Amino acid sequence: MKPVRCFIAWLIGATGLLPISGCYAPQSLRQSSSTLYTEGRIITTDSGSIRIFWPGTSIQARFEGSEVRMRLYDDAGRNHFAVIIDDTFHHSFRADKGEKEYLLASALPAGRHQVAIYKMTDWFDGESVFYGFKFPYGKPVAETRKPRYQLEFYGNSITVGAGMLTRSHPLYAGSSTNNYLSYGALTARHFNASARFIASSGIGLMVSWGSLIMPEIYDRCNPADSSSRWNFSSYQPDVVIVNLMQNDYALLQQKNNSQFIRRFGSASPAADTIVGRYAGFIAQIRAHYPDAYILCCLGSMSAVRPESPFPAYIRTAVASLNDQNIGTHFFRPVAGNEHPTPEEHEIMARELIQVLTPILSKR
């Protein structure tokens, strides 16, 4: 005879324990996937667990009850997650290496609630695997969220939200990276939009501080796996925001850098080559998203200062594409030479919201 245990509700993606009241005999029953909402490029395994890679990836559920827990595996112990309860930031935590159960919230008022976990850190901080939410004193209910718009961001550390927090900043919680407070995430929440962040600190379009450039990973689901291809038809954004070339600008001034030598040899690429490479990448984005508006951005660091030729390169590249649904925006540069702070990300978000409002009003 199977032992009878008191009720604990587990919620996972496609398969798992079916919530019931009272007590149950343990068994594996199929559960509706309508109880979870996910954002980001993820891989759902045959067992229903969800593999998490990119910054800004989130998993959300609605439930009745006063407490929610989660089971998560992290392969490096460097990832940080935000916990969102009822659309409000609750706290953040660093995932321990290995598999562990985490208490996300307790002593909540009676009634229905919403919980979400949100990856704040870079993809190279490691892969995580979500095994399920757990509701010890309640049950999941159907997830009905329908974002008004769909956005997708391609970018570097600025878009990731890296380097925004120093140890002395009141919002610092163990990591200087916080995608949840990035200009893109703030913009998405303003518009009640879903958002996907195909972003990596240090990356460029032609040359990066690391070994990969954006054209080599933009079409991956798992950025660490060259065979992991993303199905672009599964998510067709209303607007694609591309904010690249800051690292290209910086590295083109460092001819002794190993990645400069690897990509270019001893000579910097000519201006028409830079323009052509940028236009070619935007053309690739257009091929995947024929109906999207593409906004080619730059900033808010040194690449948008007066001495930089890169805004002109981008304008020329966009003009060469002769596409009325591709535009440009250049963020105002930050005051110093560091990454934008949370306050400067808010300024960037206000700029982007102003640009996107008339574009999205036509969608």
Phi-psi region of 302 (alpha: psi -120 to 50; beta: other; left: phi over 0): alpha
Cβ contact 143:33 at 8 Å: no
pLDDT computed for residue 29 by the predictor? 23
Give the percent of the chain with pLDDT over 70.
91
**Is residue 106 scored above 80 in pLDDT?**
yes
- Identity of residue 304: V
Return the minimum-mean-pLDDT range out of 42-56, 84-98, 135-149, 233-247.
135-149
Neighbours of 95 (CB within 10 A): 24
Coil, strand or helix: which one is 290?
coil
Coil, strand or helix: which one is 184?
helix
pLDDT computed for residue 34 by the predictor? 66
Structure-token pair, residue 58: 């989130």
pLDDT computed for residue 19 by the predictor? 30
Q: Average per-residue pLDDT in the chain?
A: 91
- Residue 319 CA: distances (Å) to CA of 29, 270, 295, 362: 56, 18, 13, 22
Classify domain 149-360 at the CATH class level.
alpha beta
- Residue 228 CA: distances (Å) to CA of 204, 224, 234, 246, 299: 21, 8, 15, 27, 30
- Find the helix or strand (DSSP H, E) in which 185 lies: helix 183-190
Contact residues for 136 (Cβ-Cβ < 8 A; gap 6+):
8, 9, 65, 67, 69
**Is residue 223 scored above 90 in pLDDT?**
yes
- Identity of residue 285: I
**Is residue 25 scored above 50 in pLDDT?**
no
What is the Cα–Cα distance from 239 to 90, expressed in whole angstroms? 29
pLDDT computed for residue 171 by the predictor? 80
Predicted confidence (pLDDT) per residue in 309-326, tens digit:
999 999 999 999 999 999
Q: For the residues 284-303, what does the mean pLDDT come to?
A: 98
pLDDT computed for residue 16 by the predictor? 32
Structure-token pair, residue 222: 């798992």
Cβ contact 116:58 at 8 Å: yes
Which of 333, 273, 258 has its CA nearest to residue 303? 333
**Is residue 10 scored above 60 in pLDDT?**
no
Torsion angle of C-alpha atoms 334, 335, 339, 345, degrees rounded to 10: -50
pLDDT computed for residue 33 by the predictor? 56
Burial class (CB in 10 A: 0-12, 13-18, 19+), 7: middle
Report the half-sphere exposure of 249 (CA within 13 A, side-chain side).
Answer: 22
Confidence of residue 144 (pLDDT cuts 50, 70, 90): confident
Q: Which CATH architecture has domain 5-141?
A: Sandwich (2.60)
Higher pLDDT, 171 or 154: 154
Q: For the residues 103-118, what does the mean pLDDT come to?
A: 97
Higher pLDDT, 337 or 113: 113
pLDDT computed for residue 62 by the predictor? 95
List where CATH 2.60.120.260 sits in the chain.
5-141
Structure-token pair, residue 197: 């962040």
List where CATH 3.40.50.1110 sits in the chain.
149-360
pLDDT computed for residue 182 by the predictor? 98
